[in-house]
Amino acid sequence: MIHDFYGQDPTPAHTATTRSQWWRGAVIYQIYPRSFQDHNGDGIGDLVGVTQRLEYVADLGVDAIWLSPFFTSPMKDFGYDVSNYRDVDPIFGTIEDFDRLIEKAHGLGLKVIIDQVISHSSDQHRWFQESRQNRTNPRADWYVWADPKADGTPPNNWLSIFGGSAWHWDPRRKQYFFHNFLTSQPDLNFHNCEVQDAVLAEMRFWLERKVDGFRLDTVNFYFHAPSLRSNPPVAPEDFNASIAPDVNPYNLQDHLFDKSQPKNLEFLKRVRKLMDEYPGTTTVGEVGDAQRQLEIMAEYTSGGDKLHMAYTFDFLGGTFDAEHFIKSIRKAEETAPEGWQCLAFSNHDVKRHVSRWSKHGDEGRLARLAAMVLMSLRGSVCLYQGEELGLTEADIAYEDITDPYGKEFWPNFKGRDGCRTPMVWQAQAHLGGFTTAPRSWLPVPADHLTRAVDHQEHMGESSILGFYRRFIRFRKSQPALTAGDITLVEAPPDILAFTRTCAQQSLFCVFNMSGKDKVFDLPGDMNLESINAPGSVEFKDESTINLPAFGALIALIQA
182 inside domain: no
Residues 490 and 381 in one domain: no
Count how many Cα atoms sit within 13 Å of the Cα of residue 514 in the half-sphere of its side chain.
12
HEC profile of 11-34: CHHHHHHHHHCCCCCCEEEEECHH
Which of 345, 344, 352 lies closest to 414 in space, CA to CA?
Answer: 352
The CA distances from residue 374 to 183, 342, 423, in Å, are 36, 10, 22
Using the 3D structure, point to which of 387, 416, 438 is the last residue of a domain: 387
Residues 82 and 196 in one domain: yes
Residues 247 and 374 in one domain: yes
d(CA 175, CA 228): 14
534 inside domain: yes
Q: Please provide the DSSP assignment of 66-87 as one string.
A: EEPP-EE---TTTTSS-SEEEE
Q: What is the longest distance spanned by two Cα atoms in the chain?
A: 78
Q: How many structural domains is the chain composed of?
A: 2
Question: Is the dihedral angle over the CA atoms 235, 238, 241, 244 positive or is it negative?
Answer: negative
Residues 363 and 505 in one domain: no
Check residue 278 and give its pLDDT: 98
Which of 407, 215, 174, 176 lies closest to 309 in space, CA to CA?
Answer: 215
Which of 243, 87, 224, 205 lies closest to 145 in space, CA to CA?
Answer: 224
Q: Please provide the DSSP assignment of 391-445 as one string.
A: PPPP---GGG---HHHHHHTTTS--SGGG-PPP---TTSGGGGS-SSSS-SS---
State whether residue 192 is helix, strand or coil: coil
d(CA 380, CA 341): 6
HEC profile of 235-288: CHHHCCCCCCCCCCHHHHECCCCCCCCCCHHHHHHHHHHHHHCCCCCEEEEECC
d(CA 413, CA 31): 24
Which domain range does residue 526 map to? Answer: 485-557
Parallel, antiparallel, or unpaired for β 485-488 and 380-384?
A: unpaired
d(CA 12, CA 312): 34
272 inside domain: yes
Residues 378 and 501 in one domain: no
φ and ψ at residue 176, rounded to 5 degrees: -95, 145
The total number of residues written for the chain in this structure: 559
Instruction: Report the phi/psi class of residue 268: left, alpha or beta, with left for phi > 0 and alpha for psi in -120 to 50.
Output: alpha
Residues 365 and 494 in one domain: no
d(CA 107, CA 103): 6
- As annotated, the active-site residues are 217, 277
For 516, other C-beta atoms within 10 Å of its C-beta total: 10
d(CA 271, CA 284): 11
Q: What angle do CA 119, 149, 244 make, to 5 degrees?
A: 40
> Which residues does residue 529 pair with via DSSP β-bridges, in sequence order?
556
Check residue 7 and give its pLDDT: 33
Residues 363 and 490 in one domain: no
Mind listing the pLDDT tens digit of every residue in the chain (559 residues)? Answer: 222 333 333 333 334 446 789 999 999 999 999 999 999 999 999 999 999 999 999 999 999 999 999 999 999 999 999 999 999 999 999 999 999 999 999 999 999 999 999 999 999 999 999 999 999 999 999 999 999 999 999 999 999 999 999 999 999 999 999 999 999 999 999 999 999 999 999 999 999 999 999 999 999 999 999 999 999 999 887 777 778 888 899 999 999 999 999 999 999 999 999 999 999 999 999 999 988 988 999 999 999 999 999 998 889 988 999 999 999 999 999 998 988 999 999 999 999 999 999 987 789 999 999 999 999 999 999 999 999 999 999 999 999 999 999 999 998 899 999 999 999 999 999 999 999 999 999 999 999 999 999 999 999 999 999 999 999 999 999 999 999 999 999 999 999 999 999 999 999 999 999 999 999 999 888 999 999 999 999 887 678 899 999 999 999 999 8
Give yes or no for a contact between 415 and 397, defined as CB atoms under 8 angstroms apart: no
14 inside domain: no
Which of 72, 186, 165 lies closest to 121 in space, CA to CA?
Answer: 186
471 inside domain: no
Using the 3D structure, point to which of 362, 387, 412 is the last residue of a domain: 387
d(CA 25, CA 497): 20
200 inside domain: yes
Note the Cα 442 to chain centre separation in Å.
21
Check residue 18 and give its pLDDT: 61
- Terminal alpha carbon distance of the chain: 29
d(CA 269, CA 305): 6
214 inside domain: yes
Residues 489 and 383 in one domain: no
Sheet holding 145-146, edge to edge: 145-146, 175-178, 167-170
Residues 380 and 489 in one domain: no
Give yes or no for a contact between 176 and 145, defined as CB atoms under 8 angstroms apart: yes
Q: What number of helices (H) and strands (E) belong to the chain?
A: 16, 20
Q: What is the CATH number of the domain that holds 202?
A: 3.20.20.80
Check residue 243 and give its pLDDT: 80
Residues 247 and 381 in one domain: yes
Residues 367 and 495 in one domain: no
User: Is the previous residue joined to 69 through a cis bond, with omega within 30 degrees of 0?
Assistant: no
DSSP-assigned letter for residue 388? G
pTM: predicted TM-score of the whole model, two decimal places = 0.95
Q: What is the CATH number of the domain that holds 522?
A: 2.60.40.1180
Check residue 140 and give its pLDDT: 98
Using the 3D structure, point to which of 387, 405, 438 is the last residue of a domain: 387
Question: Is the dihedral angle over the CA atoms 336, 337, 341, 345 positive or is it negative?
Answer: positive
d(CA 46, CA 440): 12
DSSP-assigned letter for residue 103? H
Q: What angle do CA 64, 68, 69 make, to 5 degrees?
A: 130
d(CA 467, CA 461): 6
439 inside domain: no
d(CA 50, CA 430): 18
